Structure 1
Amino acid sequence: MSRVSVLSSHACHLGEGPSWHAGRARAFWFDILERKLLEMGLDDAAPRIHDLPFHATVAARVDEDRHLIASDGGLHLRSIDDGALTELRPFWDDRPGTRSNDGAVHPAGALWISTMGRRFEPGFGRIWWYRAGELRPIVDELTIPNAIAFSPDGGTAYFSDTPENLIYRQALDPATGLPRGERQVFCRVSGGGPDGATVDADGLLWNARWGGSAVDAYDPDGHVVRTISLPARQVSCPAFAGPGLDRLIVTSAYEGYDAEKRAAEPEAGWTYLVDGPFRGLPEPAVLIG
């Protein structure tokens, strides 16, 4: 059995991109639309909230002291101690009206980072590969790319196009994290759209079901083997946390809610903590060159 509790009742307009920094024993996540980075120990009473100059979506660990932040302002190194930002490159998608979205670090140190249209324009979504200063597009013609995650051996990537209600599987070169061959449909999601995801030590894909109040675990054949229900309807992304990586952080959002909807669902935008019989994988460090 799993136990769901509230990690933070700070309501995020669009909570996303949770990660666990083991060296600091701190969780990090974003409120994308409000340009905030939240930071919290699992036993803290409330998060520290850092203002950002851009809409950021991914904080990838570089080392004990720095994150690589992906945002609509580009790629920046951020000092965890004082928040100082150093630009590595400006925003890389030259089409107007796009922003960064979901991302994850492959075991080879490559960051997969997606971009999408701010108005959810069909076909504007892309996934990019970044490692050691090199950046290239690897997937095109998506709308809202999400659910980026990797198998424990680095030989498979997962990603979704949320409006299609599909999660894809892509064979990879484990040494680089670059695609091999064509993507295949991994599964079709019902009762909500596939949002952020992560893979555990047993190779199960844990996917947040946006609009479905749940996180689902899929086996490598694409079958749901477990579902965890959550109070918020728009759950957005899970990440394993804690010294044993045996706790699951899940972000959520009140994006698109009017005052009446917010009053009816006060838990929307909260960040949750799930305890259960599972174990995650350490997040790899991204190579910046």
Structure 2
Amino acid sequence: MPGGADVTPESVLSLGATLGEGPVWTGDRLWFVDIKEHRLYRHDPATGMLDMWHAPDQIGWALPTERGDMIAGVKTGLHRFSPETGAFTPLHDPEPTRPGNRLNDAATDPSGRIWLGSMHDEETEASGALYRLDRGHCVHAGLPEVVITNGPAISADGRTLWHTDTLGKTIWRVSVDEDGTLGKPEAFVTIEDGAGYPDGAVIDAEGCLWTGLFGGWGVRRYDPAGKLMVTVKFPVANITKIAFGGPGLCTAYATTARKGLSAAELEQQPLAGDVFAFDAGVSGLPVHAANS
């Protein structure tokens, strides 16, 4: 069975990130960010090389495009990022009237649409929304707004989307029409008290959902019906998201965070903020290039 109690995640990048997030595997490289430190990273596990760029503000994610560059979600809006020059070029601000928000997490579907969420940076107001970016056109996806959006995660056929209300501790499942219109959301999983908060989510090749648990010391795998299948325990409390990479997309890379930990907790968790890896025992899905 994939994952399980016998799986031990190992630190593969000792970074001590304040808020590591947004891991994505593309071009045989692992990309991820440190939101609070405004950093975008690219790691080559084969050579051990680690590149870093400074973003113009808090950066939640970066995803590859059909043009060969990347679209990045920054607090000030969507930017086009060039790995060759390191330049971030403003593209579109989906929330010009919400300066207290920032972009938080995103995923690309098989049609090349980017589904992206925002959140209230101080984590107190329900102003976080889900948006759809399709060929440069960005629209509100129509789901109820929450304090912190996370995920989203997309099925292999692009017809199902999972959307996370982190503070509400609920992952929602919603159908996706061919034109990107969303159906009525249904509760997929609610995380029980004491188990942390659902953070970034991703779907594997068997249609199961993996979610990081912020404050929950682990990653969970749920089957397509929402039944808990596997819990992978970590030596740190705040696991934000995993990405499938490596040969056969069978290695799970997990970002973690030091954010919110006291000095005493940091002393007990010396690996907090590192990037971890473990054998997922199942393949992930390839990342689609964005059409924008």
TM-score, normalization: structure 1? 0.93
* Separation in 1, partners of 2:246, 2:133: 27
- Over aligned residues, Cα RMSD in angstroms? 1.5
Q: Find the residue that maps to 1:198 and give its secondary structure.
A: strand
**Cα deviations across residues 180-203 of structure 1 (Å, max 9, x unaligned)?**
2x1010011121110001001110
Given that 1:157 and 1:172 are in contact with CA atoms closer than 8 Å, whether structure 2 keeps it comes out as yes
Residues 1:283 and 2:287 aligned together: yes
Looking at structure 2, the residues matched to 3 and 266 of structure 1 have their Cα atoms a distance apart, in angstroms, of 16
Could you report, residue by residue, the CA deviation over 1:180-233 in whole angstroms, capped at 9, with x for unpaired residues? 2x1010011121110001001110001101111111111111011111111110
C-alpha distance in 2, partners of 1:258/1:4? 23
Deviation by residue 1:26-82 (Cα, 9 ceiling, x = unmatched): 111000000011111123446222211111111111047311111112211111222
3-state SS in 2 of match to 1:277: coil
Q: Which residue of 1 is the match for residue 219 of structure 2? A: 215
Q: Would the aligned equivalents of 2:59 and 2:73 in 1 still touch at CA under 8 Å? A: yes
Change (3 A) 1:274 1:64: farther
Does structure 1 conserve the Cα–Cα contact (< 8 Å) formed by 2:94 and 2:138? Answer: no
Point out where structure 1 has 5 or more consecutive residues left out of the alignment: none
Deviates more, 1:195-204 or 1:104-113: 104-113
Q: 2:240 pairs with 236, 239, 245, which one?
A: 236
**In the alignment, structure 1 residue 156 sits paired with structure 2 residue 156:** no
- SS of corresponding position for 1:263: helix
Decide whether aligned partners of structure 1 residues 177 and 87 sit closer, same or farther in structure 2, where only a CA change above 3 A counts. same
Match of 2:3 in 1: none
Which one of 238, 259, 263 corresponds to residue 263 of structure 2? Answer: 259
Q: What is the aligned counterpart of 1:184 among 172, 186, 198?
A: 186
The letter for the 2-side match of 1:69 is: A
Q: 1:105 to 1:176 in 2, by over 3 A?
A: farther
Deviation at 1:111, TM superposition (A): 0.8
Q: Partners in 1 of 2:215 and 2:176 — Cα distance?
A: 30
Q: Which residue in the other structure is 1:26 paired with?
A: 29
The equivalent position to 1:88 in structure 2, one of 88, 91, 95, is 91
CA 1:176–1:93: 2 relative to 1, 3 Å? farther
- Looking at structure 2, the residues matched to 41 and 31 of structure 1 have their Cα atoms a distance apart, in angstroms, of 17
Matching of residue 53 in structure 1 with residue 19 in structure 2: no
| Aligned counterpart, 2:275 | 271
Q: Secondary structure at the match of 1:164?
A: coil
Would you say how many aligned residue pairs link Structure 1 and Structure 2? 284
Q: CA deviation at 1:171?
A: 0.8
> Structure 1 stretch 122-131 or stretch 1-10: which is displaced more?
1-10
Which amino acid in 2 is paired with 1:271? V
TM-score by length of 2: 0.93
Moved more, 62-71 or 273-282: 62-71
**2:9 aligns to what SS in structure 1?**
strand
2:138 matches 1:116? no
Q: Aligned partner of 1:141: which letter? A: E
Match of 1:141 in 2: 145
Shift of 1:178: 2.9
Q: Aligned equivalents of 1:135 and 1:91: distance in 2?
A: 7
Whole-angstrom distance in 1 between the partners of 2:181 and 2:47: 39
Residues 19 and 28 of structure 1 are in contact (CA less than 8 Å); yes or no, is this contact kept in structure 2?
yes
Q: Is contact 1:128-1:136 (8 Å) kept?
A: yes
Contact 1:93 1:115 in 2 (8 A): no
Structure 2, gaps ≥5 residues long: 1-5
Alignment partners' CA distance in 1, 2:240 and 2:96: 23
* 1:163 partner SS: coil
- Per mean C-alpha deviation after superposition, the further-off stretch among 80-89 and 118-127 is 80-89
1:13 to 2:13 alignment: no
Matched, 1:62 2:65: yes
Deviation at 1:93, TM superposition (A): 4.5
Say which is worse superposed, 58-67 or 109-118, in terms of deviation: 58-67
